[in-house]
Chains A and B, each alone.
Chain A
């Protein structure tokens, strides 16, 4: 039995299982909720298996259908992929449970196949070992995300979805052009082979520029963030959660892979530029979030700011900084999902998400407010949360490199975050002038938000283990800024 578990191709199953789930949900719409939940649990089990395999045996490479690179499709799972897969699994399970109580039947039958398909694309993206596969999965991910945004119906949602679609297509197109240029130069799309053959030429620089620009657009780095707040805020709540927590990080993941493994070293200036854009995003996103009067928009702008933090690792470029950024990403995913879920509960409870009229949510929905606050603690980077660990590592790297101005940005970003989180929490204690009638929020929806938020906070106390995972099969010592 043990041998069988060891040799199972868990990496392939991580992709096939949600795909099967999506198909089954599509074919039996009446049973889509239990089937979808079952699929989500299955994915979590497969990711656990993969985790066990990678920890025991080191990084895994699967050749799908028996054809190896450069002809066939390779899947590759190292510590980085694994950590992202695990995060996706945890957040995905949370979103699945939340959605089972959120959607009415009419929407649910559309949601479940799309969501499981999106999960498939995301898992495949995280396991892809070549840049063309990355393109295909990125495109699939983007298209299913657009469909999910449109699920809300209404003019706002459709406009946002349309804009999201166009931006996504433009981003992928840029990326695809870069892939073509690289393939033309080196005759391969496999990441490992490209890394070996990499040498500088104008075509390579053009490819680097195009691919980065496309991915930055998809990651919503300032000033390419304009599409994110309307799309994330107008979608149904579980969709907002998965967009902010999971989908934006996919393009960041690709960028990180390319930057660390494929792109030629010596792009120090580019690293500084990315850092500068990231810093602007942190401040701009924070200020915009503070100015919002609607809760969902506030959270969406917070995502813009949080994405900015990740780019502060590029100018620093030490292994500590990369890990810090990834840890921020990890805790942000859980915290942001929890935050959107809390907002969804408040929305369902009072029928609106105007911040100034929260009307004693602290008393009337204590679990939800606790979830929002705990998630906020992680996002503003207060100890002992996961966000604090990530920030600490970035701060440490900034002082280590003597680039203290990034530390200043980290601190100012934290202060802005505290300002907008506590703005919400403060209004949750006071009574609004007009009292609204309240509708019931299912306990499952409250608890899911709380558990995810708690996970984001507890990540701070168990940092050594995930960080050690990142060391499996991935050269973090590299990076262009060294």
Chain B
């Protein structure tokens, strides 16, 4: 095994090994636990940097483990798409770990929490690095299993119920994905991810069967990507602690679903073949429906985290939409939104967590004038919210711009109206919050205020949203700089649509 094939395993190990060790740490060994968490996250980031360098210089990264005789292997493989998702996970894991350490200070069962937290990140990285459907499936299910204990972490009856709903959706989705994968293996004889897609190369396969498999796969992935009507678990999973919600919404679960859809359309079926099969049209309509529906539901939520959750339902479907519109520019828009949505949403959830943790504020109706009490937090919140609406030059604007251009380029003008309508709705549910925050008078007392001296809150809670908010600005302002998410998405697209 040379360095190149070991690198991917190392990237997985940097979160798996600390996670497993942390499980066995006694509760009070805070220093060791923090060192392990932070050390793993930093080392992972460095290794991902090496990986980016390698992929740019044409290194091939692949690790295989035979799973069954007859060519069924577990494959880790790094292509440009994996790198996009792995980088997002590695960066946001580091930030979220800092946040979680601050958030959970002094609470119970932290070893269990951080153990599963690390497993969750391992699963996400595995999803990103999977080189074929079965490897994807393995990590996709591992993700389900490792997030469940985080959702029920608080051990209340409400948490148990939310966990039940979560599992009902995700296990059923996993089962659909499994059936689709087996069937695909039976029909195609292989399910490696390749740039043009293995299915596109089949000459004599029954097109009805291929369509049925596509539907099964997308339904299985759509559960995690929260496509309507498979989104019901997401708003209920809000009972989890804030760092978990942040991770769930920005990197881990919903993104795994969206990334899987990208993989299936681009690298299993091949975009052009999927379009000729006539399955991308309905997928685009489904994504558009989800975008509008999620935004409409978000309008009517008073609980901040629930509003953000419905906003996630809506925003993640931009990624699906970008892929389903079929065209190089729209694909760029979808892929770049994978990163941009992650940055913006994680900022919003960090801020929501800060409000709850510092002032006990959970509802939007209690947020009047909160900008004066917590100016830094709410500044980060404002940047991310404006980004979500699509105000230039923030990250969300870049995504929407490319999606719109791409739709026009592909001759699907209706998508532009969806984008415009969705932006209006986004403004409709974010602007009133911003208005109340900054311009209304604060109440005499906050529901449950904790004092942090002269600072508005603990630094571990404040630094992460500020960093991610800066990234939101940077991703938009520096979109044409080398190594920006946009450039990387373009790099991927040139491979998918190469002549």
Residues of chain A at the chain B interface (Cβ within 8 Å): 360, 362-363, 366, 377, 382-384, 389, 392-393, 395-396, 399-400, 407, 411, 414-415, 418, 422, 425-427, 429-431, 460-461, 463-464, 467-468
Contact = CB atoms under 8 A, between A and B. Distances in A.
Interface string B464-482: 0000000000000000000
B61 interface: no
B279 interface: no
Query: 3 nearest interchain CB pairs?
Result: A399-B186, A383-B138, A395-B182
A430 B160 CA distance: 7
A411 B164 contact: no
A422 B167 CA distance: 8
A143 to B, nearest CB: 40
Interface in B110-163: 112, 134, 137-138, 141-142, 144-145, 148-149, 152-153, 155-157, 159-160, 163
A143 B342 CA distance: 63
Nearest to A460: B67
A467 B179 contact: no
Given A429-B152, A429-B159, A467-B69, 8 more contacts: A362-B112, A366-B23, A383-B142, A384-B138, A389-B68, A399-B186, A415-B172, A461-B74
A117 to B, nearest CB: 38
B406 to A, nearest CB: 35
Interface string B62-87: 00011111000010000000000000
Given A383-B137, A395-B178, A415-B175, A430 B65 contact: no
B222 interface: no
Given A395-B178, A468-B69, A429 B112 contact: no
B407 to A, nearest CB: 37
Contacts of A382: 141, 144-145, 174
B440 interface: no
A14 B424 CA distance: 76
A431 B172 contact: no
Contact of B68 (A418, A429, A464): A464
Best-surrounded residue of B108, B144, B175 (most CB of chain A within 10 A): B175
B365 to A, nearest CB: 30
B142 A393 contact: no
Given A426-B164, A430-B157, A461-B65, A415 B141 contact: no
Contacts of A384: 67, 74, 138, 142
Contacts of B69: 464, 467-468
23 contacts: A360-B155, A362-B149, A363-B108, A363-B112, A377-B145, A383-B134, A383-B137, A384-B138, A399-B182, A399-B183, A407-B182, A415-B172, A418-B167, A426-B160, A429-B159, A429-B160, A430-B157, A430-B159, A431-B155, A460-B67, A461-B65, A461-B67, A461-B74
Contacts of B164: 422, 426
B68 A463 contact: yes
Contact of B182 (A396, A430, A431, A468): A396
A37 B120 CA distance: 39
Given A363-B109, A382-B174, A427 B155 contact: no
Contacts of B179: 395, 407, 411
Given A382-B174, A383-B138, A429-B160, A393 B68 contact: yes
Given A383-B142, A414-B175, A429-B160, A400 B65 contact: no
A366 B112 contact: yes
A473 to B, nearest CB: 18
Best-surrounded residue of B141, B142, B157 (most CB of chain A within 10 A): B141
B491 interface: no
A389 B67 contact: yes
Given A383-B137, A395-B178, A399-B182, A426 B171 contact: no
A383 B182 contact: no
B68 A392 contact: yes
A463 B157 contact: no
A172 to B, nearest CB: 37
Interface in B440-478: none
B450 to A, nearest CB: 25
A383 B175 CA distance: 11
B155 A400 contact: no
Contact of A427 (B145, B148, B156, B160): B160
A383 B137 CA distance: 8
A414 B176 CA distance: 11
Contacts of B401: none
Interface string B413-451: 000000000000000000000000000000000000000
A14 B134 CA distance: 39
Contacts of A389: 67-68
B136 to A, nearest CB: 10
A418 B163 CA distance: 13
Nearest to B72: A392
B185 interface: yes
Contacts of A426: 152, 160, 163-164
Contacts of A363: 108-109, 112, 155
